Amino acid sequence: MSYKPNEQKKPGLSRRDLLKLGAAGTAVTALNTLGRTKTAKAAQTSLKKKASQKHTSIDEMVKIAPDLKRFDQAETAFMKSLLGDFGVIPLKPGDDPNMAFAFSNIMFGWTGSNPLSGLENPHLAKQEPGHTDLDYAFSRGGFAMEDFSGSFMARVCSGDSGPALPGPDGKLLSLSLLKQEVPFPGIFKKFPKVSAFESGDDASFAMKKAAKLFGADLVGIAPFEERFLYNTEVYMPLDPVKGIPLKEHVDPFRKVNLGFTPKSVIVLVFEMDYEAYKCQPSAIGETATSMGYSRMMETSLRMAYMIRRLGYNARHASNDTGVSVPLAIQAGLGECSRMGLLVTEEYGPRVRIAKVYTDMEITPDNPKSFGVKAFCEVCMKCADACPSKAISKAVKTTDPDNKPHDACNQVGVDKWYNNHQKCISFWGENWSECGVCISVCPYNKIEMWHHDAAKLITRVPKLNSVARYLDEAFGYGKAHDPKLMKQYWKGRV
């Protein structure tokens, strides 16, 4: 099957409809033109500037001796302290004696004591402001990626850039040094529970604040409900050398077991790049998705590190473990759409979702609606643009017998039932993901005033039937355009 963009029928617009749109359309078009003109001018200026710039060197800004000698890493203050603390190179006369155990105090401060010196962290013991359990848990979350895959500690420990992980006693150890193929169990070390929060509201505020700093664009809290966990999950360990499944260990229907009973789910939403998504369906658009996945793991891993340091259980997850869209709706982050994906007010469907299950009591958020369901009833732009015709055009949302759909739907939910097998088949044909539905959706906006205009229109039920075409008139919602794909590498950065 080869893809040709679907014909899109325009609705019959009455004179009255057009008059109604007149004022809004004129204003938004004017703003749109103004915005585009500004952006285009900025791009041209930036490119011209680049072309006229001659290549310069740091030497024109900084005086550097011609016989500059390369520096030894061991002479940096951090390394001097580290090497001294581990007894590799003791501090020399003339070195600041206070450097002794300085590095390891920083390294182990979050655990409460320094195993190399035997000293306790006095600030943590007194729960001084800025040095409380919550503060150190926060900082641990910040370090999570460095601990897990950072080049710095791993290179220092083992001479390679593989992961370095804290052992059960808090010591950082490189995986290659340990000859470990899997994350060291020590990362799941259980700390004594600390009462960092006075209430569930406080916990919610702190988790959201931390998640934002750790990289999430939106955060909400859902109560844990077993009905949104997968019943079973696929377990398919791979042979580390051949990269093929170790068949004797494969269990396609392993029961989901988090190892504890969660009370809350922290739902994390990540925006995917707008410009790259305009190039769908392609490997360029897929990069926005893959970046989304990496950000999901980074932030959720940090959250799990932080929560475990506070003495609670935590499991971070991306698409695994359970269904994400209902959790995100429950957490007040958006609504379900015709295409089956979450639509957020801020970024539309151009998002990815991660979650962190925990047994911490966190006040949940409430679901909220901003008119997506009503708008999806009349829009159908994703269904028209879908190369595999996988998206349902049915009006009714409650009937799972609405076609086309397939066995990859969880029935029993009021939603549009789509044909996910057709979708994935197209991805195979395309040799990369698709995402056209996300790209063309009128909720997929980046600039605030555009977004506001689109939101405004989608909230006026009488304008719903024409909002999609107004959107197209503004030049939005194009996809599967080789020109956009070529242009991607030529635009300004």
Which positions touch ligand SF4 (CB under 6 A)? 337-339, 375-376, 379-382, 386-388, 390-391, 423, 426, 434-437, 441-443
Q: What are phi and psi of 299, to 5 degrees?
A: -70, -40
What span, in angstroms and rounded, lies between the C-alpha atoms of 197 and 311? Answer: 12
Least CB distance from residue 373 to ligand SF4, whole Å? Answer: 9
Provide, rounded to whole angstroms, the least separation between the CB of residue 457 and ligand SF4: 11
Nearer to ligand SF4, 341 or 362 (CB): 341
When the beta carbons of 8 and 180 are compared against ligand SF4, the nearer one is 8
Please state the closest distance from residue 38 (CB atom) to ligand SF4, in A: 27
Least distance from ligand SF4 to the Cβ atom of residue 355, Å:
22
Cβ–Cβ contacts within 10 Å for residue 303, how many? 27
CB of 376 to ligand SF4, least distance (A): 3
Q: Which is nearer to ligand SF4, 123 or 393 (CB)?
A: 393
Q: CB of 425: closest distance to ligand SF4 in angstroms?
A: 8
CA distance 302 to 314: 11
SS3 for the chain is CCCCCCCCCCCCCCHHHHHHHHHHHHHHHHHHHHHHHHHHHHHHHHHHHHHHCCCCCHHHCCCCCCCCCCCCHHHCHHHHHHHHHCCCCCCCCCCCHHHCCHHHHHHHHHHCECCCCCCECHHHHCCCCCCCHHHHHHHHHHHHHHHHHCHHHHHHHHCCCCCEEECCCCCEEEHHHHCCCCCCHHHHCCCCCCCCCCCHHHHHHHHHHHHHHCCCCEEEEEECCHHHECCEEEECCECCCCCCECHHHCEEEEECCCCCCCCEEEEEEEECCHHHHCCCCCHHHHHHHHHHHHHHHHHHHHHHHHHHHCCCCEEEECCCCECHHHHHHHCCCCEECCCCCEEECCCECCEEEEEEEECCCCCCCCCCCCCHHHHHHHHCHHHHHCCCCCCCCCCCCCCCCCCCCCCCCCCCCCCCCCCHHHHHHHHHHHCCCCCHHHHHCCCCCCCHHHHHHHHHHHCCHHHHHHHHHHHHHCCCCCCCCHHHHHHHCCCCC
Question: 437 or 453: whose CB is closer to ligand SF4?
Answer: 437
Joined together, the tokens standing for residue 472 give 């197209």
Q: Which CB sits closer to ligand SF4, 82 or 339?
A: 339
- Distance, in Å, from the CA atom of 288 to the CA atom of 216, rounded to the nearest integer, reads 15
Judged by beta carbon, residue 222 or residue 390, the one nearer ligand SF4 is 390
Please answer whether residues 350 and 313 qualify as being in contact, where contact means their C-beta atoms are separated by less than 8 angstroms.
no
CB of 454 to ligand SF4, least distance (A): 10
Shortest Å distance, C-beta 349 to ligand SF4 = 6
CB of 298 to ligand SF4, least distance (A): 25
Nearest one of 198, 200, 174, 199 to 186, comparing CA atoms: 174
Give me the least distance between CB of 63 and ligand SF4, in Å please.
Answer: 56
Minimum distance from CB of 214 to ligand SF4 (Å)?
29
* Least distance CB 442 / ligand SF4 (angstroms): 5
Residue 104 or 392: the one with the smaller Cβ distance to ligand SF4 is: 392
Q: Nearer Cβ to ligand SF4, position 328 or 382?
A: 382
Residue whose CB is less far from ligand SF4, 308 or 405: 405
| Residue with smaller CB distance to ligand SF4, 3 or 188 | 3
Give 262 or 442: the residue with its C-beta nearer to ligand SF4. Answer: 442
Q: Which is nearer to ligand SF4, 295 or 381 (CB)?
A: 381
**For ligand SF4, the closer CB: 196 or 343:** 343
Minimum distance, C-beta of residue 287 to ligand SF4, in the bound complex (Å) = 16
